[in-house]
A and B are shown apart, each in its own frame.
Chain A
């Protein structure tokens, strides 16, 4: 723990209503993530990984517990403030890419910049830079449905990183891709976040992916357990 924590999770509890029963999904989670750290979150389907991630992004709220991001307790924030926090400081990569079908690639990538109030010229410059970083500098005007899955995910990563967020959350970014493409995507994601010195939290069920992280956690029955130490 060479850096001060960027993200602190304390005693997080959450359960889902299922019929008449309550199924606990997060059962007292505690976690501290430092700046520039890369964390992998392992777990089976339905173990609550995505829920935890959504809570970190401020798009879901826990039933109890605290989440502090960049010294801000997100419970104290209004919906709008949470959205602004997300807009400025968080990048999200999904399993299903979630590109906007009616926007072309450059527009998709430029959207977070625009929301953050960048000027159009700046947007063009930054979008150009990141598109060439991910090797799609020549596909500006293509629409998502004209791209392969791997290409779409690269665009999604570009969109998550383009506005230089402090934290990148990735929810099974390779889960929908073949092994080779997945590996490629992962390289890009890890490479870029390390290069830009971002904090990365990556949810996955692949040990192979997890091993590339600084720390690995496993979420099991709503309880988080440390699986490995940093390998450097």
Chain B
């Protein structure tokens, strides 16, 4: 039986130490808020993807796909006439832009749509007639229309691969409240072909197949065509962003971990302060479990309040994070628009559970410790310190073991991202356990210099840390973790950026590049005018050009990006290979025998040099041998490279997508650039002509943009950490009010006391910062070599940037300084007698 008097004692204690309670609540609230915000943003993104897929794919079970050229529409006719029993629908799909925003233009045949989608279900027959007959009629979702300020009947200008085209919105679909399909324009298949200028071909045929229909259809299909399962393809697409989303979640968990430490800290203090009280309760006859329960439930109430506040903040924060997540997914993976935050009960429940479990774990240890002590030792403070010092070797051992376990796990968990994160968290936890064991060592190390500099005050400050290890230990651990998290994330992003920068400057060998800004096809980038290469070669100052064609081809594991390049003499320098390549690489490459694959592609598909990649060509499936694996940070989905001449012959596609221009030694960039721009201006299409420096700059801008979310998360972790440091330090110093009062009574001036307290918190901050540097660095190593590799398939060297370390150090010191200020000012203001009074 847990009595109301035990409760009341706890409640009054919290009221008396309100600041401590508030900081504990704040800590858990912020931790939960970050996790919730990321979770909600992630979930909303996934949900938006799901909804988009549901509406776009509908009840499609399979799709027939072809290579970059699309599939001839006659094939659909043949299929209908020869296999009338199959449920099929033709689809033309392209990419257009409205006011610089990208949309998928879906060309459907409303008459074949009924078994699949409800996009062309229209309220009035005359609208269907118009959809079928008007060459530029579009349907838009109600949501999108509202967002763009458009109404049915409006004329809009579509940018189709740089060419403007007029279209008219004839009706809206979907209601505004429900989950909306955004980023999609629906047109009749004829209108889509006309708008995209894509006549005679389809992008795919959608089917709803029964199991027994699959084989006959596969046998019927001509070579060069591919029957794929939609669910697999959708899953593969969802997988693309999975690693990114997992990373975000893990980063947010780091914030919760810091928040958890905060709870642990405050719970420990709260319990330590009342050790004697709990002892008395035990003496009077309260059982261990009664006391344990009282403490735990009291902490859980704090956790619950913190969690609830955290949920609220999390939802607000999620609204802000949402567009960052969406933007990154749109930049890197696929196009989605999120219409609303998906406040699923499951997610809210998970957040609550995480907050409460963290609180439970964090406060169970101090609560257990409070009841473990024999009641007779209530009056002996030294016993506690003795115990905590006695525990140090164990902590050291356990910490080292957990760290080693983490490293072992990292080494032996193969390619699993989740286990990678588990290893990272193990490692971090182990290190945090280690910290208290190192603190006495450090404080002894600091003792003499500090004593030398500040005299007795310095000695008091330094000795105090060791003497009250039960309190300073966890506080410094929490601090270390917080600072290390910022260091680790900082180094990771910094190393990444440096690698990308180096890679870009190496890859971009040409001086000027020409391309079409956007493509109207999802399978291939828009081709450049045919006569352009010849015209450019005639420009004065141009030594030679390289040409490229970007397409998406079907491989056995789904669609893959292929770059067919016509190399200039120096182009090969743009490739930096990972490990060995086959012999005579470039000779064999230009003969068309080999392909090159990017590192992420090799990693994800577990390929090595000499293996084969099977691609679907117009003549059926063909294996290509991998000649080398090159570094490429352009896409985490991977890239294949083959000679353009070979591609053109195999795929019967001689078009080119990019031209790289190499200048003569004596040519001036500006003159050639002007001339090339003039040439490009003659094209009906809008072409992009850029010098390599500009590309470099723009690419890094995109990089920074996609990492904004990581930076924001890092800031959030820092914010939680800051509150953590503040609360840990303040709790500690305020808890020692009596000791300070004795010092004051013994003759320390308020200034001296202020100095002593500040010095002590600064020392702790310094220790934490010093301890955080190796942890942060090791975290970065794990993030880069384990997490990044497993998430994206990218390997890169880590880069230890001094500025990040300085930043962390500064941050730790400022936070400790601020944390020491309040208790010391308060002490300086109060009468020592008051604090000395027996409670």
Contact = CB atoms under 8 A, between A and B. Distances in A.
B375 interface: yes
A114 B5 contact: yes
A60 B374 contact: yes
B692 to A, nearest CB: 72
Interface in A53-104: 54, 57, 59-60, 79-80, 83-84, 86-88, 90, 92, 96, 98-103
Contacts of A154: none
B277 interface: yes
B281 to A, nearest CB: 7
B375 A96 contact: no
Interface string A126-160: 00000000000000000011000000000000010
Interface string A96-116: 101111110001001110111
A83 B280 contact: no
B298 to A, nearest CB: 12
Nearest to B3: A114
Interface string B367-401: 00000001110110000000000000000000000
Given A59-B375, A114-B3, A98 B280 contact: yes
Given A107-B5, A145-B839, A112 B284 contact: yes
B287 interface: yes
Nearest to A87: B285
Contacts of A103: 5, 8-9, 12
B21 to A, nearest CB: 14
Interface centre among A50, A99, A107, A117 (most CB of B within 10 A): A107
Contacts of B285: 83-84, 86-88, 90, 112, 115-116
B741 to A, nearest CB: 15
Contacts of A117: 1
Contact of B376 (A54, A107, A110, A116): A54
Contact of A115 (B276, B286, B288, B378): B286
Contact of B9 (A92, A102, A112, A115): A102
B838 interface: yes
A83 B286 contact: yes
Nearest to A85: B285
B288 A79 contact: yes
Nearest to B838: A145
A101 B839 contact: yes
B678 interface: no
A80 B287 contact: yes
Interface in B802-839: 837-839
Contacts of A83: 282, 285-288
B280 A100 contact: yes
A178 B1 CA distance: 39
B649 interface: no
A83 B378 CA distance: 16
Q: Is the interface of A mostly helix, strand, loop or mixed?
A: helix
Contacts of A79: 287-288
B13 interface: yes
Contacts, number: 82
A107 B378 CA distance: 20
B534 interface: no
Given A86-B285, A101-B277, A159-B284, A114 B839 contact: no
A60 B287 CA distance: 15
B16 interface: yes
B284 A96 contact: no
Interface residues of A, number: 32
Contact of B284 (A102, A107, A111): A111
Contact of B837 (A88, A99, A145): A145
B283 interface: yes
Contacts of B16: 102
Contacts of B6: 111
A88 B284 CA distance: 9
B211 interface: no
B273 to A, nearest CB: 10
A66 B9 CA distance: 36
B8 A102 contact: yes
A59 B376 contact: yes
B283 A57 contact: yes
Nearest to B279: A98
Contacts of A107: 5, 8-9
B280 to A, nearest CB: 5
B4 A114 contact: yes
Contacts of B837: 145
A59 B284 contact: no
Contacts of B280: 98-100
B284 A92 contact: yes
Given A112-B284, A115-B1, A145-B837, A98 B376 contact: no
Most B C-beta atoms less than 10 A away, residue of A50, A103, A110, A144? A103
A96 B9 CA distance: 19
B281 A100 contact: yes
Given A102-B277, A145-B837, A84 B3 contact: no
Contacts of A102: 8-10, 12-13, 16, 277
A98 B12 contact: no
B283 A60 contact: no
A219 B276 CA distance: 28
B5 A111 contact: yes
A18 to B, nearest CB: 13
Contacts of B376: 50, 54, 59-60
Contacts of B289: 80
A87 B284 contact: yes
Interface in B238-284: 276-277, 279-284
A110 B375 CA distance: 20
B378 A98 contact: yes
Interface in B724-754: none
Contacts of A86: 283, 285
A111 B3 contact: yes
Contacts of A59: 282-283, 374-376
A115 B284 contact: yes
B3 A115 contact: yes
Contacts of B13: 102
Contacts of A96: 379
Select the residue from B8, B282, B284 with max chain A CB neighbours within 10 A: B284
A32 B281 CA distance: 28
A79 B373 CA distance: 13
A9 B279 CA distance: 25
A136 B288 CA distance: 31
Nearest to A51: B376
Interface string B195-209: 000000000000000
Contacts of A54: 376
Nearest to B288: A79
Nearest to A83: B287
A102 B279 CA distance: 14
B423 to A, nearest CB: 39
Contact of B283 (A50, A92, A145): A92
A14 B286 CA distance: 26
Nearest to B12: A102
A101 B283 CA distance: 15
Interface in B10-59: 10, 12-13, 16
A216 B287 CA distance: 33
Contacts of A57: 283
A99 B280 CA distance: 7
A142 to B, nearest CB: 14
A107 B6 CA distance: 9
A128 to B, nearest CB: 16
26 contacts: A50-B376, A59-B282, A59-B376, A79-B288, A83-B286, A83-B287, A98-B276, A98-B279, A100-B9, A100-B277, A100-B280, A101-B277, A102-B8, A102-B13, A103-B5, A103-B8, A103-B9, A107-B5, A107-B9, A110-B5, A111-B6, A111-B281, A115-B284, A115-B286, A144-B839, A145-B837
Given A84-B287, A87-B284, 6 more contacts: A86-B285, A100-B281, A101-B839, A114-B3, A115-B285, A144-B839
Closest 6 A/B residue pairs (Cβ): A87-B285, A102-B12, A114-B3, A101-B839, A102-B9, A83-B287
